[in-house]
Amino acid sequence: MSDSKSRVVRRRKKKEPPAPAVETKDLTAPPVGEKAPPAPPVGKKDMSAYIDHEAMTDTNLSDKPRGSAAGKRKGVVPPRRDYKLIDGIDPFALFAAYHLGLTAADGYRPQNIHDLGRRFRTTPERINAALKAYEIDSETVLNTDFDLSMAEYDIRVAPTGISRTELARQLYEDFRDSPRVARDWGAELAADAAYNDRIFRKLK
């Protein structure tokens, strides 16, 4: 019995042929016939493929101004003069509070004429009179070459440690040095509409 076992020939396990390697396509390789772009510096990502160079060089978009600069004519800077105070209200303080949102505590908060009436201890009617007398009413400010929306934004986002009052004073001086211009609202709206149309057409 032991002899028969010793004569048994064990069959070797059949080895399966190795599976063919799956070819993977290098998605980063350039198409056939094109030269590969240079590798970006270490630590920096090359964003050139994502830049719309055509849009950046489109003179139709860059030649025409937007916003407050569109539709304006050249104006003249009005002469500086001393204003007769209305109820003792300082012109700068009224401008900064009404147009820039500067509070008495060097903070930011939009304030209407009723808020300012309480702050300056007078009536809303006198606030309106002061705005016109000091030539800082809304109509006058809008008909200057002064970017009021950006000035208000600067006061709103002023970082900690920056005096909003001093910043507002500089903005007030910029306003006083701004030339008076006649705004053509129809031309400005048309320029904005044409600009937006070209931008969104490129994004489609």
Q: What is the mean pLDDT of residues 170-191?
A: 82
- Cα separation, 97 vs 118, whole angstroms: 12
Half-sphere exposure of 79 (CA within 13 A, CB side): 2
Tokens encoding 59: 């003179």
Judge whether 111 and 119 are in contact, CB under 8 Å.
yes
Q: Residue 33: what pLDDT?
A: 60
**Which tens digits make up the pLDDT trace of 57-108?**
444 444 444 344 444 456 677 777 788 999 999 999 999 999 999 999 999 9
128 burial via Cβ count (<10 Å: 0-12, 13-18, 19+) = middle
Tokens encoding 43: 């630590």
DSSP state of 129: H
State the pTM of this model.
Answer: 0.57
Structural domain boundaries in the chain: 84-204
* pLDDT at 28 > cutoff 60: no
Q: What is the mean pLDDT of residues 165-178?
A: 96
What SS3 class is residue 183? strand
- Cα separation, 178 vs 180, whole angstroms: 7
